Amino acid sequence: MPGARCWICHPLRMNTKVSLEDGTMTDTDTQYAIRNRIYPLSFEPICKDYIWGGRNLETKLGREIPAGIVAESWEIAAHPNGQTKVTAGPLAGHTLGALQAHLGERLLGSDDDAVGFPLLIKLLDANRWLSVQVHPDDAYARAHAGELGKTELWIILHAEPGAELIYGLKAGVDQERFAHATRTGAIARTLHRVPVQAGDVVFVPAGTVHALGPGMIVAEIQQNSDTTYRLYDWDRTGADGKPRPLHIQRALEVIDWQMVEPSLVRPRILSAPDGWAREELARCPYFQVERLTGQPGAVWADHCNGENYQIWAALSGGASIHWAEAPVEMRGISWLLLPAALGAFEVRAETDCVLLRIL
């Protein structure tokens, strides 16, 4: 994966490993290894082969992916359905879930009271229509699925001409009309379609009826949940030759009927140091996402002071994270998790670049 293999260790400590399971080390220099449990973390993605995927993460993004269909790449994940592993440094090979259990507040911060890691970061290759679906909120998901609800944010990285998505309901569609449409096979007539292009941003609160259309690659920031209620699947069959199950009743119970013909996000311009343009893409109880466009040589000074972690991504171009140890490079498209206890750091634009900052 371009930009992912970028960790630079001290030349004398390259083989230092930490075992989180039993607390032992493979190197006798335990103090060095303990100190270096806190560093910018990169992860090995997990690929999912859902029927709507393709090969665009390879052909468009230049990624190395498994053979066959790849629909989703879980970039940073600590979910029962997928745990990404650290790719470099003393913690290489350990899952994000294991890191959280071992590091606690040093990873997530004192302000985070989440039981598990709160977010799930993905890349999506929408080579065919995704099912028309809806996600529950926290209260419903905990009661019926035993996990968080799902509010999410889409950032369109690539869109073919004419690409569109489903986002909410058409004007005049209420619960009664929509329920009738699900019974009569007329659901497509109730759905609000929106054309999109690269750079567009879509905020999808829990309860929003939605679906990605073909010809898009999307970065998704979402709550750490995998609960989806499928309303319509385009009359197709799954890999087993049978129609994939629908969840009509559950979906009707969680739909937000106020999400009628919503608009795409209009990013809010924020102040920024010289050489940077900064936009706020989303601010909600679950995440805050900013997009930074940097010129070569631009420097962003920041810190993780123990209260919160940060996630940084390079969507295009190149940048580097400079902190107390050796710098770490980011090349589009790659992601880094900066633990809450990391301390002061700088982000330096090496080329023209577009980055994400997730709080």
Out of 230, 291, 331, 348, pick the active-site residue: 230
Cα separations in angstroms, 141 against 80, 144, 148, 179, 210: 15, 5, 6, 21, 18
Cα separations in angstroms, 209 against 45, 116, 216: 28, 26, 18
The Cβ of residue 31 has, within 10 Å, a number of other Cβ atoms equal to 9
- Who's near 271: CB < 8 A, 6+ residues apart? 278
Q: Which sign does the torsion angle of CA 230, 233, 239, 243 carry?
A: positive
SS3 359: coil
Cα separations in angstroms, 227 against 141, 189, 224: 7, 25, 10
Phi-psi region of 299 (alpha: psi -120 to 50; beta: other; left: phi over 0): beta
Is 230 a residue of the active site?
Answer: yes
Residue 287 token pair: 């995440």
DSSP 181: H
- Who's near 308: CB < 8 A, 6+ residues apart? 108, 109, 111, 112, 340, 359
C-alpha dihedral, 217 to 222 to 227 to 230, nearest 10°: -40
Residue 331 token pair: 């090349």
Q: Which of 218, 219, 197, 194 is nearest to 208 (CA)?
A: 194
Q: Which residues are catalytic?
A: 230
